[in-house]
Chain A
Amino acid sequence: MKIQIKNISKSFGNVHANKNIDLEIKSGIHALLGENGAGKSTLVKIISGQFAPDNGQILINETPIQLGSPKESISNGIGLLNQDPLDFFNLSILESFLVGINENAPYRHLKDIRKKISSLLEKYEIKIDLDTKTRSLSIGERQQVELLRLLYNGAKLIILDEPTSAFSLDQKKNMFQTLRQLSQEGIIIIFVSHKLDEVFEICDSASILKYGEIVENLVQPFDSDQIFSVMFDQFEKSSIDVEHNERLDNFSINFLDKDISPQVDISNSYDFSQGTVIGFAGLQGSSNDKFLQDFFSSDKNLSFIRINSSTSLLKNEFYYMPADRLERGLFGEMTLLEHFGLSEASKKNILNWKSVRKHVDSKIGEFNIKATPESKMHELSGGNQQRVMLSLMPQEKSILLLEQPTRGLDVNSAHNVWEMILARKNQDIAVLFSSTDIDEIWEYSDVVISVHGETIIDVSNKNILTKDSIARFVSGLV
């Protein structure tokens, strides 16, 4: 089996998602690397037939295949392992193998099919009963079974798109073992990931995508410095010093042991002075947002924050701003006025709309919101919605938990939002935010907590870090 990708280009509007991509893979496990938006998933979707490219062709064993049809790709031996596979919850595993099977009347050969699948399971040492419902499998098990399903359907080339994002260490080990075995049997594997530690561990060769183009092809042994310098834009050392304020209301963050990566040996309790901006850095799909949610949910079994060693904080001492503004933060069909009325309503039984309106008017001016008190939230732009969320912050001293505060905003709006956050920095106890953008983490944090997968891999003051080191941490390299 040999796959040649020739001159593939695909653009959406003015954005070149893929530009003249040339790639040839003959064997082994090949990694596709790149930052978010580098064009990895577009390329994967073109290979697996979900997107038709604007031009270019793909050859399997020197013969061009028809592009833009999943069926055609499958019949040419290309199998895509989704992040969340085998999701017919109420079907048994055997049944989910049968869905969309090429054979006519699969129920007539059920015995043979069952035997074939069982022997596959045996071969790869997966102990799962074929009659269990998919619902009762873990995500890791589902992915392994899905991998076998692809093989069963005759896949010779398997694409894994961020396969390990929901894996435990054990599951990862099993998966990698299966992958190695497959690779030895001559099956080509394309491994899409931005977790560099995994790529280093398992891949034989790699291509780095950037702005939709392949900028570098590499083979083992990989040079991590080289990969970094190619993958990310050049980082210059920052000279900003972190201010240390000697003030009251110092606070501490306690993490649970299971929140700390087993790879590192760091403390799970940290003290900070008031007004510290703490950035939770992590890749997309990592748990960096979850830590903020945990702090807010104030469940005893989760990581928690303490102030001046008092035992617990009240919920109204936090201001939590979720990442998806319209789904969890604001009410799309309600007006600005009603939003302010709502936060007032938790304090009073009878609302004085006149004073609420006055309050809204002053906030509109203060936060530069381009809307009237009667505007509905879904009518506003993303930047304006974000400013509304910020304007709803309580007046009192609080702990701000901001989940991806500038997600989906353009540079100007993002800057604007940060000015507003930092204006409160000295007044508030703490600002905790999460982001997948290392530049943002770098620019605004005093302390950076790097999250890889589900666990924390590093907690450091910014002045001993570089952007490179943060990028390494979030990619899982210690």
Chain B
Amino acid sequence: MILLENTLVTVISLSTPLIIAVIGETISEKGGVINLSAEGTIMICALFGFIGAYETDFAVVGFLCAMVLGAGISFFISYCDINLRMDQIAVGFVLTILCINLSNFLGQDYVRINGPLITKFSIPFLSDIPFFGSVLFNHSLITYLSIVLIPLSWLFLNKTSYGLAIRASGENPSSASSRGINVKRMRLLSCVMGGSLLGLAGASFSLYTKYGWSEGHTTNYGWIVLAIVIFGGWNPFRAAVGAYSFGLLQVLAIKAQSVTLALSQILPLLPFPLMIFILIFIQYINRDEIKNVPKWIVAILGGNQPQSLGKKLPEEIK
């Protein structure tokens, strides 16, 4: 029981940045923009989050810096997409490379030094509940935020007019526009919201889960985020399940290191073939002629990518 408890505590706190980033990317993609710069954005925001916190000695400043930077990068992407009609994929990819190299260059002075720490904050009373208390209510504030973000982002997307407008714009810009929605603004809004969350995720690496800064500090997490969003079928809850499963595999891999090296290397790779399988399966059950798949499986695994994801807006939209 103690082992399980410890494992869950580690998984939840270790997955903090991943959860935030996955939700950010989901919101962005719901509005129709693939923020392919996730890898670079997370990396450079991790650096600037650390710099901000180190120079001012306030962790909060670090988080804010990272969010602003993340928002700025995503604003650039959506500006290129919406106003300059450039390819999202191309812009995102170039930005990834630029941000990674820039962070390596600018971060030289900050490698392996100490900055302000975030402390744990036990929620009174709730943290005294056996098992659940320590698993859910004995974390840092940023971890609480990541947990709260899951239902909040779902509510935002599915139960508010803004969320609906964002989804409609991501599904079919022409129809949304003809119904009086300002599609460009919605695309920009969702992309920038998502980008600032990616920035926040970067800072929670360097200020919390993987404390400090070193070259290539968050390598590969951005790509994993992009994959988990697909795995999650553009649904925050499912994406969170994906992120936590990924975290669990990582923790298991660390624990397995003492037993067998081979297993510890295979475990972190598992999500990728699994993801490909899920994608094939989603394609399969989405076909109309397929009727023999049980309803509950469709309900859990169904869902499709926003129809205009990654596409340029039609020219007639003003």
Contacts and interface: CB of A to CB of B under 8 A. Distances in A.
Contact of B176 (A71, A99, A136): A99
A99 to B, nearest CB: 4
Contact of B164 (A87, A89, A99, A136): A99
Interface string B227-241: 000000010000000
A245 B178 CA distance: 57
User: Which of A98, A100, A104, A136: most chain B CB closer than 10 A?
Assistant: A100
Contacts of B167: 88, 90-91, 95
Nearest to A102: B180
B10 interface: no
A301 to B, nearest CB: 14
B175 interface: yes
Contacts of A71: 180
Interface in A37-51: 50
B178 A99 contact: no
B120 interface: no
Interface stretch (B13-21, B65-73, B133-141, B302-310): B302-310
Contacts of A88: 167-168, 171-172, 175-176, 307
A90 B306 contact: yes
A127 B235 CA distance: 28
Given A71-B180, A100-B179, A87 B161 contact: no
Contacts of A405: none
Contact of A106 (B161, B179, B303, B306): B161
B304 A99 contact: no
B78 to A, nearest CB: 21
Interface in B120-170: 159-161, 164-165, 167-168
Contacts of B315: none
A106 B175 CA distance: 19
A107 B168 contact: no
A90 B161 contact: no
Contacts of B175: 82, 85-88, 99
Contacts of B160: 107
User: Which of B167, B176, B179, B306: most chain A CB closer than 10 A?
Assistant: B179
Given A74-B180, A99-B181, A107 B159 contact: yes
B236 to A, nearest CB: 15
A135 B180 CA distance: 22
User: Which of A85, A86, A89, A90: most chain B CB closer than 10 A?
Assistant: A90
A91 B180 contact: no
A107 B288 contact: no
Nearest to B302: A133
A464 interface: no
B304 A95 contact: no
A90 B235 CA distance: 12
A463 B158 CA distance: 63
B171 A91 contact: yes
- Give the bracket for the number of chain A residues in contact with chain B: 20 to 34
Contacts, number: 62
A265 B165 CA distance: 51
B180 A87 contact: no
A107 B175 CA distance: 21
Binding site secondary structure of chain A:
loop
Interface in A62-98: 70-71, 74, 82, 85-91, 95-96, 98
B288 A99 contact: no
A104 B160 CA distance: 10
Contact of B304 (A90, A96, A104, A106): A90
Contacts of B234: 90
A135 B172 CA distance: 12
Interface string A92-126: 00011011100011110000000000000000000
B307 A99 contact: no
Nearest to B174: A87
Contact of A107 (B161, B176, B304, B307): B161
A89 B304 contact: yes
B168 A89 contact: no
A89 B306 CA distance: 8
Nearest to A96: B168
Contacts of B179: 99-100
B159 A100 contact: no
Contacts of B164: 91, 95, 98-99, 106
B313 to A, nearest CB: 15
Nearest to A136: B288
A369 B234 CA distance: 51
A259 B288 CA distance: 23
A103 B149 CA distance: 28
A100 B182 CA distance: 10
B284 to A, nearest CB: 15
A91 B168 contact: yes
A87 B171 contact: yes
Nearest to B172: A87
User: Which of B180, B181, B234, B306: most chain A CB closer than 10 A?
Assistant: B180
Contacts of A100: 165, 168, 176, 179-181
A86 B303 CA distance: 18
Contacts of B307: 87-90
A136 B306 CA distance: 15
A85 B161 CA distance: 21
B306 to A, nearest CB: 7
20 contacts: A50-B178, A86-B175, A88-B167, A88-B168, A88-B172, A88-B175, A88-B307, A89-B304, A89-B307, A90-B167, A90-B307, A91-B164, A91-B171, A95-B164, A96-B168, A100-B176, A100-B180, A106-B161, A107-B160, A136-B288
Given A87-B172, A100-B168, 11 more contacts: A70-B180, A89-B307, A90-B234, A95-B167, A96-B168, A99-B165, A99-B168, A100-B179, A106-B161, A106-B164, A136-B288
Interface of B: 159-161, 164-165, 167-168, 171-172, 175-176, 178-181, 234, 286, 288, 303-304, 306-307
Interface of A: 50, 70-71, 74, 82, 85-91, 95-96, 98-100, 104-107, 135-136
Closest 9 CB pairs of A and B: A100-B179, A88-B171, A99-B168, A100-B180, A87-B172, A71-B180, A107-B159, A89-B307, A99-B179
